[in-house]
């Protein structure tokens, strides 16, 4: 079954304590991305990766890091979390977005992070 798996689903942490949210896809997709979703603001892209060892900033990258050492994994790292990073986070995996090609886009189930 094609899927994107995020862990953990729920996390409460304290300010400044480094954490990692993992994301794994089993579809051999090239493109992966992290989003945060906040009420009234919709989904905002944090970082994306077009392939292994290729990452780029989205709209709200401050305070986050990512890595793409393997095609299937795209972890999101918060080196020093702060309360304004309390949000619902989604990882997404997309086969391709190009003219004429059928695209597959899958989102994980989400990680609800609370930073106190």
- Residues belonging to the chain: 116
Q: Report yes or no: 16 and 81 within 8 Å, Cβ to Cβ.
A: yes
Q: Cβ of residue 36: shortest distance to another protein, in angstroms? A: 11
User: Which residues of this protein are in contact with another protein, per CB under 8 A?
Assistant: 4, 31, 33, 35, 40-45, 48, 50, 56, 58-59, 90, 92, 97, 99-100, 103-110
Q: Is 87 helix (H, G, I), strand (E, B) or coil?
A: strand
Nearer to another protein, 58 or 63 (CB): 58
Q: Cβ of residue 109: shortest distance to another protein, in angstroms? A: 6
- What is the spatial distance between Cα 55 and Cα 66, in angstroms, rounded to a whole number? 8
Nearer to another protein, 11 or 50 (CB): 50
Nearer to another protein, 17 or 52 (CB): 52
Q: Cβ of residue 66: shortest distance to another protein, in angstroms? A: 14
Nearer to another protein, 2 or 12 (CB): 2
- Nearest 5°: phi and psi at 30? -80, -40
């Amino acid at each position: 079954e094609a899927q994107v798996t995020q862990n953990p689903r729920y996390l409460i942490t304290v300010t400044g304590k480094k954490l990692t949210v993992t994301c794994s896809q089993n579809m051999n997709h090239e493109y992966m991305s992290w989003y945060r979703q906040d009420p009234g603001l919709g989904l905002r892209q944090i970082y994306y990766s077009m392939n292994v060892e290729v990452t780029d900033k989205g709209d709200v990258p401050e305070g986050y890091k990512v890595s793409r050492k393997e095609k299937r994994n795209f972890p999101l790292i918060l080196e020093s979390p702060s309360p304004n990073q309390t949000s619902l986070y989604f990882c997404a995996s997309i086969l391709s977005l190009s003219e004429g090609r059928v695209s597959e886009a899958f989102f994980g189930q989400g990680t609800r992070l609370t930073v106190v």
